[in-house]
Structure 1
Amino acid sequence: MDMNQYLSMFIDESNDHLQSLNENMLQLESSPDDLSIVQVIFRSAHTLKGMAATMGFEDLASLTHQMENVLDLVRNEKLKMQDFIFDTLFKSLDALESMVQDIVQGGEGKADVSSIVASLQAIVRGEVPGASTETAAASSKQAADSPVNPGIELDEFQYSVLDQSISEGHKVLYIQVKLREDCQLKAARAYMVFELLERSGEIVKTYPDVQDIEQGEFDQMFSLYFITQRDAAELEAQILNISEIDTVNVADLDHESLHQMVQQSTATAETVQKEAESPSVQPAAFSETDAKETASSKTALKNTGSGTPSRTIRVDIERLDTLMNLFSELLIDRVRLEQLAEDAKNQELTDTVEHMSRVSSDLQNIVLKLRMVPVDTVFNRFPRMVRDLAKSLDKKIDLIITGAETELDRTVIDEIGDPLVHLLRNSVDHGIEPVEDRVAAGKSDTGKVHLRAFHSGNHVFIEIEDDGRGIIRENIIQSALQKGVVTEEQAASMSDEEAHQLLFAPGFSTAEKISDVSGRGVGLDVVKSKIVSLGGNVTIHSTPGKGTNFSVQLPLTLSIIAAMLIKMGSEKYAIPLTSIMETGIIKKSQIRTVHGIRMIPFREAHIPIISLSRVFDVPDFDDLTEEETEIVVIRKGDRLAALAIDDFIGQNEIVIKNLGKYLPVIQGVSGATILGDGQVALIIDPNAFFK
């Protein structure tokens, strides 16, 4: 089997299982007695172990196996979950994530996890801090009383083959093989046993089924019926020579003993079936929890009206990017055709182009939706992070997530994770007070951090709000003065909102010393730079003693946007509609100069007016010479400015194209687009005009 063919699938599914393990472990930590959660965790760990073993990642499979041993004790109610066990299992998950990341980067997924393995093994032995001797005894008993596979149930044909073989002088052996507890590649060891046996005989029936054994889906033991001419003791010795084999039991059967074994296995199967069908009795191997899960599954299938699973496929990101690029070219051609049809005045051509426009609009919606990803893909890693931060800071914190189903363009999703990490760490460390301070202030000892996402117009807002101490204006101003970020005159005239924005100044921090979880301001300049580069904005609202709210505004998509096309002499530009507040005409007599800056009246206030012809050095237009000038009022958060332009062309959907690596960074330009007439129009970045 070509493992490289399945590597991508292994990585994707491993990440899914690790995320599920983290989420369910957090849920179990809140409800440590809920065995149904333990069952889910155990199954995820078991599947991950089987996948890793199949792919040959032995360290990963071995560590997951050690986790399984602990979870098995818990689900069988022989071990109670405690803080030490949770911490050890979370460390194990961190190690597994590191191994998977190593595999992603081309490594073999190896890591030194000896200390974690030792801790897990100590838990299995009952050596948990604070564990009772009863727990330890139960753990030891389970290790000693390993379950034995039930007898193999044969059909009439299989029984006839075995019985006839005995009559013809062949040996019929019943072989039971137990692997060592630390066996890392169960499927591989079972395969070696099968290969050895098949060289000298025929395997008639196995338990579990061959498919399950090949995939590692069995405990440490498997059994089989085997027809051969070889000596039983000789075969037993050869099997024991295979690595990681613990014990081998070989029974040489005659007609009577074969008949007795078949009767016994049939009776066992019938008993289990009757107990399973009984509403009042559950078989020992079928726990109450499993019954609830099975009932839930049946109810779910009944409610949906079908047992058919959701039909989804994994699509490589590069294919989606290629699809978007191809559609972008189609959109450019569509605009060109619309213009040609208008010029040609041909009704049939116009009708055809209009139909094509409607179809391509539907296609555009589908393509954009394909690129939309729920922010849950970013949010789902934060509960674990907040949990670890709270423990390290000795705080009690509830992270409340709402709107995780809100969708964003994949390009934005890929970039927004790190900025949100910075903001959350800031809220947990400096927003939420220590327990004693909260109690002294009359608050609950448990701080609350709300992480919410929601749509508003063509934007998505992500807010991080805490009920902590809030931002103290005086602390910010004092730190800013000490670092020379502002002058005393500037500081005195600053509003609270402007003071809060100082947190985003490069190198600004209120921390007395830099630590792993640093002071307000550490890393926030990077946060703002990243969000602004995505066409977004971040604002802060804070009330001392009540809490702080970081609000991040992001565009829905970065690929195709609605824009206002404008004209500057012979050149054309595009301004994103999301940044436009309104348009209008201003007379030259209304322009005032204040401290060297041109200002115009706007809604009982004055805002700066910027000459685009001067900024971009347009050779055949200068708004300063015009008696009347058309303007576009743009906004960035609460700040407004006006751009002086030549004329409006109209609103259109445009495809954003990168300027490439060969052009230098152009101030005020975020990209380019191709218009219907084939001309290239620069896309104006309104954020660049706010200082």
Structure 2
Amino acid sequence: MDFNNYLEIFIEESKEHVQAINDELLNLEAEPGNTAIVNEIFRSAHTLKGMSGTMGFEDLASLTHEMENVLDLLRNDKLTITSEIMDVIFQCVDLIEKMVDNIEQGGDGKEDVSGIVLKLEQIQNPSISPVQEMSAASLETAVTAERTHIIDIDEYQLTLINEARKFGHNVYEVTVSLDENCVMKAVRAYMVFQAAEELGEIIQSNPPVDQIEEEQFTDSFTILLLTQKDATDIQTQIRNISEVKEVIVEESLTKPSEDTAKATGTEEQVTEVQPKRTVEKEDTEGPKKKHRSKSIRVDIEKLDQLMNLFSELIIDRGRLEQIAKKSQLGELNETVEHMTRISTDLQGLILNMRMVPVEQVFNRFPRMVRDLAKELNKKVQLVVEGAETELDRTVIDEIGDPLVHLLRNGLDHGLESTEERIASGKPEEGTIILKAYHSGNHVFIEVVDDGKGINRDKVLEKAIERGVVTQDEANTLTDQQVFALIFSSGFSTADKISDISGRGVGLDVVKTKIESLGGLITIDSTPGHGSVFRIQLPLTLSIIYSMLVKVEEETFAIPFSSINEITTILKDQVATLHGQKVFQFRGQVVPLVYLNDVFHVPASDQTESSEQLFIVLVHRGNKTMGLVVDSVIGQQEVVLKSLGGYLTNIFAISGATILGNGEVALIIDTNQFFK
């Protein structure tokens, strides 16, 4: 069979299982006695092992097999969870993730797993010395020494079990003990068999079924059950049967009986017989037992292509609207209005398809924070809120690195050491909150810590020392403006350089990346109580609402998200302050930017001199600025197009759009005027 067709599904599902294992391991560290968590990890590892073996990735399968053995000992209380064991399992997960990434890049997924496998073997059998090797067969014997198999199966049944395990099924030995005073044991046994068949498929029983029917057994019997249910579900359902005294469910480590093995000439070989009839039965019964989500995986490139085609449709819609206005044809107007309504609904649908929860980015941070806290010898709790908040996938792809910088900065600079926290009367465990929420057409992401806050005087001292601001300027800065100085290039308040932070890189990169996404980052901080880094991002970068304005003969688009309001003033209301054109608006002095000067727009002979100026008031944070334009055309939905590789780093221009009349309008990035 050619498994290449299933490679993409294998990679996606493997990533999901690796993420699930990482999440549950963090939960297990918090609740080491919770067996249910170990069972969840075991199931993910078991499925991952089966998929890897089926796809032929032997190194990945062998590593997950050894990890599964350790997890099996943990869930059966044969091992006690320690920090050392957790570290080894985390190393396993890191290596598994590396191998899956290699497979995704077209590699064979091969890695040297001998070192980590030896650590796993030592956990299972502490008597193994670091230099001692243990074969897979002897390892299995050591792990299963305490487990006795009371059910013999033939080669065909073993093949059936192995095939089912590849598809994520579990195989359990279910031992049922009846009450000693039970009068009709055969009837109770029949009821147990009936309940078990509702849970899955019975492979074999001990004693055999005919002896149980004739009551030729004591008070207990064992069945070998193939099922997708977990042990808890099985115990619950069978215990509900009256006169059932005890139900013991154990993972089966089955192998063929000695007679069968001798007959076939081997104990380990598995025949290639495909039990088609039974597997088909499992497939047909599966959907009845488990609700399946009606969803399909769609390639990201197809979604991008769909978005590009729809963008062209938006441009043509604008053109049709203009033609309909000029023609004054009733039927054409009605058709265009109907098309506008439909395309608006379609736009909402396409944008929703591209929206993905920020959980995809947030998921990797708990593990990162755990490792970093251990390295810094700090006790930290990461609280994630609003992980279901959705963002356009183009924004999701870019936001991960800035958040990594902010979290590392919060851990290293923000949170005090355990000794400092205790001395200042704080809990020894610091808290970092990673929160996302919607507000209007924006998504806000906050990184909050309860550390020592930002030292205003220290920031100003460093800023003056590095020439970022002068002493005179420093005396006039507000707290917000001082905090914003830490985003300056090469700025750092760290007393010593470390691998985590303090090299003068990071926060300036964060600011640049956020602003390139059309976003904004601000800081609030209270000395002794902590800091809040707040990121504001647009919901989508593809289609934006904008105000179209005229400057001479050129048309520009200003995003609605940046506009406060639009007003008009007379030319004689403009004053000059320290060489900057300003005007007074509602008690506030607002600086002016003349777009015709900034973009060097040539004056037109047909331009009429007017005593009135149109001012578009834009903001960034709590700062306001006025853009001087010749006229305001009106609001319009525009498609943001890149200017391409030849037109990069153009001041205050984020892209372009094509208007309904075929004219190209540049889209203004108002954030750059505030620099």
TM-score scaled by length of structure 2: 0.81
Distance 1:633-1:422 versus aligned 2 partners, 3 A rule: same
The whole-number CA distance in structure 1 between the counterparts of 2:35 and 2:55 is 30
Contact 1:208/1:218 (<8 A) preserved:
no
Kindly state the Cα deviation for residue 318 of structure 1 after the two structures are TM-superposed. Answer: 0.2
The whole-number CA distance in structure 2 between the counterparts of 1:286 and 1:117 is 25
The answer on 1:682 being equivalent to 2:666 is yes
Amino acid at match of 1:688: Q
The answer on 1:12 being equivalent to 2:9 is no
Contact 1:581/1:634 (<8 A) preserved:
yes
Query: Residues 615-650 of structure 1, C-alpha deviation per residue, up to 9 Å, x if partnerless?
Result: 112223599964210010001111111000011111
Distance 1:605-1:205 versus aligned 2 partners, 3 A rule: closer
Contact 2:548/2:555 (<8 A) preserved:
yes
Give SS of 1:360's match.
helix
Q: Equivalent of 1:211, from 163, 179, 182?
A: 163
Kindly state the Cα deviation for residue 359 of structure 1 after the two structures are TM-superposed. Answer: 0.8
The answer on 1:586 being equivalent to 2:569 is yes
Aligned to 1:150: 151
Number of equivalences: 580
Moved more, 545-554 or 269-278: 269-278
Contact 1:54/1:215 (<8 A) preserved:
no
Kindly state the Cα deviation for residue 48 of structure 1 after the two structures are TM-superposed. Answer: 0.8
Distance 1:428-1:265 versus aligned 2 partners, 3 A rule: farther
The answer on 1:607 being equivalent to 2:571 is no
Contact 1:568/1:621 (<8 A) preserved:
no
Amino acid at match of 1:20: A
Contact 2:17/2:44 (<8 A) preserved:
yes
Kindly state the Cα deviation for residue 114 of structure 1 after the two structures are TM-superposed. Answer: 2.8
The whole-number CA distance in structure 2 between the counterparts of 1:114 and 1:151 is 33
Aligned to 2:98: 98
Give SS of 1:350's match.
helix
1:292-307 aligned within 5 A: 307=290
1:220-239 aligned within 5 A: none
The answer on 1:320 being equivalent to 2:272 is no
1:497-576 aligned within 5 A: 497-519=480-502, 522-576=505-559
Aligned to 1:444: 427
Kindly state the Cα deviation for residue 486 of structure 1 after the two structures are TM-superposed. Answer: 2.2
Query: Residues 25-48 of structure 1, C-alpha deviation per residue, up to 9 Å, x if partnerless?
Result: 111111111111111100100111
Give SS of 1:641's match.
strand
Q: Equivalent of 2:408, from 422, 425, 437?
A: 425
Query: Residues 549-575 of structure 1, C-alpha deviation per residue, up to 9 Å, x if partnerless?
Result: 100010010000110011122211110
Give SS of 1:449's match.
strand
Kindly state the Cα deviation for residue 334 of structure 1 after the two structures are TM-superposed. Answer: 1.1
Q: Equivalent of 1:650, from 630, 634, 637?
A: 634
Amino acid at match of 2:66: Q
Amino acid at match of 1:469: K
Amino acid at match of 2:468: V
Aligned to 1:471: 454
1:627-642 aligned within 5 A: 627-642=611-626
Contact 1:403/1:454 (<8 A) preserved:
yes
Kindly state the Cα deviation for residue 425 of structure 1 after the two structures are TM-superposed. Answer: 0.7
Q: Equivalent of 1:373, from 356, 364, 373?
A: 356
The answer on 1:58 being equivalent to 2:22 is no
Q: Equivalent of 1:618, from 583, 601, 605?
A: 601
Give SS of 1:285's match.
strand
Aligned to 2:379: 396
Contact 2:172/2:250 (<8 A) preserved:
no
The whole-number CA distance in structure 1 between the counterparts of 2:407 and 2:165 is 46
Give SS of 2:436's match.
strand
Distance 1:513-1:342 versus aligned 2 partners, 3 A rule: same
Contact 2:418/2:429 (<8 A) preserved:
yes
Aligned to 2:646: 662
Kindly state the Cα deviation for residue 261 of structure 1 after the two structures are TM-superposed. Answer: 7.2
Name stretches of at least 5 consecutive residues in structure 2 with no aligned partner.
Answer: 130-139, 174-205, 226-233, 252-287
The whole-number CA distance in structure 1 between the counterparts of 2:11 and 2:523 is 38
The whole-number CA distance in structure 1 between the counterparts of 2:488 and 2:650 is 22
Aligned to 2:343: 360
Kindly state the Cα deviation for residue 521 of structure 1 after the two structures are TM-superposed. Answer: 5.4
Kindly state the Cα deviation for residue 265 of structure 1 after the two structures are TM-superposed. Answer: 9.5
Contact 1:341/1:350 (<8 A) preserved:
yes
Contact 1:531/1:538 (<8 A) preserved:
yes
TM-score scaled by length of structure 1: 0.79
Kindly state the Cα deviation for residue 436 of structure 1 after the two structures are TM-superposed. Answer: 1.1
Distance 1:576-1:265 versus aligned 2 partners, 3 A rule: farther
Contact 2:50/2:166 (<8 A) preserved:
no
Give SS of 1:144's match.
coil
Distance 1:595-1:65 versus aligned 2 partners, 3 A rule: same
The whole-number CA distance in structure 1 between the counterparts of 2:26 and 2:84 is 14
Amino acid at match of 1:320: L
1:219-298 aligned within 5 A: 272=223, 277-279=238-240, 280-285=244-249
Query: Residues 375-427 of structure 1, C-alpha deviation per residue, up to 9 Å, x if partnerless?
Result: 11111111111111111111111111111111111000000000001001111
1:96-135 aligned within 5 A: 96-126=96-126
Give SS of 1:433's match.
coil
Give SS of 2:404's match.
helix
Distance 1:679-1:624 versus aligned 2 partners, 3 A rule: closer
The whole-number CA distance in structure 1 between the counterparts of 2:84 and 2:128 is 7
CA RMSD of aligned residues (A): 2.9
Amino acid at match of 2:94: D
Query: Residues 158-184 of structure 1, C-alpha deviation per residue, up to 9 Å, x if partnerless?
Result: xxxxxxxxxxxxxxxx55xxxxxxxxx
Contact 1:669/1:683 (<8 A) preserved:
yes
% identity of equivalent residues: 52
Give SS of 1:462's match.
strand
Aligned to 1:489: 472
Give SS of 1:284's match.
strand
The whole-number CA distance in structure 2 between the counterparts of 1:567 and 1:36 is 65
Kindly state the Cα deviation for residue 7 of structure 1 after the two structures are TM-superposed. Answer: 1.9
Amino acid at match of 2:248: A
Query: Residues 334-388 of structure 1, C-alpha deviation per residue, up to 9 Å, x if partnerless?
Result: 1111111111111111111111111111101000000111111111111111111
The whole-number CA distance in structure 2 between the counterparts of 1:446 and 1:418 is 25
Aligned to 1:387: 370
Aligned to 1:179: none
Name stretches of at least 5 consecutive residues in structure 1 with no aligned partner.
Answer: 130-138, 153-173, 176-203, 222-258, 288-304
Aligned to 1:75: 75
Distance 1:493-1:462 versus aligned 2 partners, 3 A rule: same
The whole-number CA distance in structure 1 between the counterparts of 2:508 and 2:608 is 36
Amino acid at match of 1:627: E
The whole-number CA distance in structure 1 between the counterparts of 2:600 and 2:29 is 63
Give SS of 2:352's match.
helix
Give SS of 1:283's match.
strand
Give SS of 1:663's match.
coil
Moved more, 120-129 or 373-382: 120-129
Moved more, 333-342 or 101-110: 101-110
The whole-number CA distance in structure 2 between the counterparts of 1:213 and 1:489 is 73
Distance 1:36-1:551 versus aligned 2 partners, 3 A rule: same
Kindly state the Cα deviation for residue 128 of structure 1 after the two structures are TM-superposed. Answer: 11
Amino acid at match of 1:517: I
Distance 1:128-1:605 versus aligned 2 partners, 3 A rule: farther
